[in-house]
Amino acid sequence: MMECVSQDGKVKTRTLFKQLQTDHINLRLVIDILCDTFYSWRSENDPEHSPGTISLMCQAVDYIQAYPEHYHHPLEEAAFNFCEANNLGPHHIIQQLRQQHKLLEQETPRIRTILDWITRQIPLTESDETLFNRYIAMQKHHIDIENRYIFPTLARLEAGDWWNIASCMALQQDPLFSAGPESQRQFDLLLNSIRQRSPIAKANKRRSLIENITV
């Protein structure tokens, strides 16, 4: 375990739950950028700007695979296991969320493939666009359901509970919002887009960086 364990080996009480909350704010921002960029590209269809625009969308999807799917989902799944083993939280919602993780992880590579087709100037079909719309809606819906129905339960867990949940996991830094410049380089366009967004987004990023530094 990395930043979430102090030198005496104890999990810092609220860190993991706070990380999940921050992940949702950050992921929602990346989803918005992906969605806005896609529709801007569709409406403008400006070949001069397309290479950068398409690369930005590719970076957004690559980030989703590199961190939310690689680390955030498994940490949530471990928390779901703990909740079920201890009769906490709504069982049917947990089952639904697990299914959504599987579905989202199946759909993300399909979205990446659509972006590869765009890069190769293969025209999109109506069903590609439907797939993209459905994917964006699924991502937003998933975050919303977790925030509403399972995060209130996770918020009540104690430090020892989080130790049980995460002690077997190799924890990972967010390569976009919490990592150093070296790791962030692969997401340079995405990072630029985040910086150009609202002051709230900048504040979220700053908060994420500060939390990472002070943990």
For the CB of residue 193, give the shortest distance to Fe ion in the complex, in Å.
Answer: 22
CA distance 207 to 172: 18
CA dihedral 150, 152, 157, 161 (to 10 degrees): 10
Tell me: does residue 174 bind Fe ion (CB under 5 A). Answer: no
For the CB of residue 185, give the shortest distance to Fe ion in the complex, in Å.
Answer: 26
Query: Which of the residues 127 through 146 are near Fe ion (CB under 5 A)?
Result: 146
CA distance 215 to 210: 8
Binding mask 144-163 toward Fe ion (x if CB under 5 A, else -) reads --x-----------------
Extract the tokens encoding 27. Answer: 């992921």
For the CB of residue 46, give the shortest distance to Fe ion in the complex, in Å.
Answer: 35
Q: How far is CA 125 from the centre of its chain?
A: 27
For the CB of residue 214, give the shortest distance to Fe ion in the complex, in Å.
Answer: 23
SS3 173: coil
Extract the tokens encoding 209. Answer: 């960086």
Binding mask 67-106 toward Fe ion (x if CB under 5 A, else -) reads ---------x------------------------------
Binding residues for Fe ion, per CB under 5 A?
Answer: 76, 146
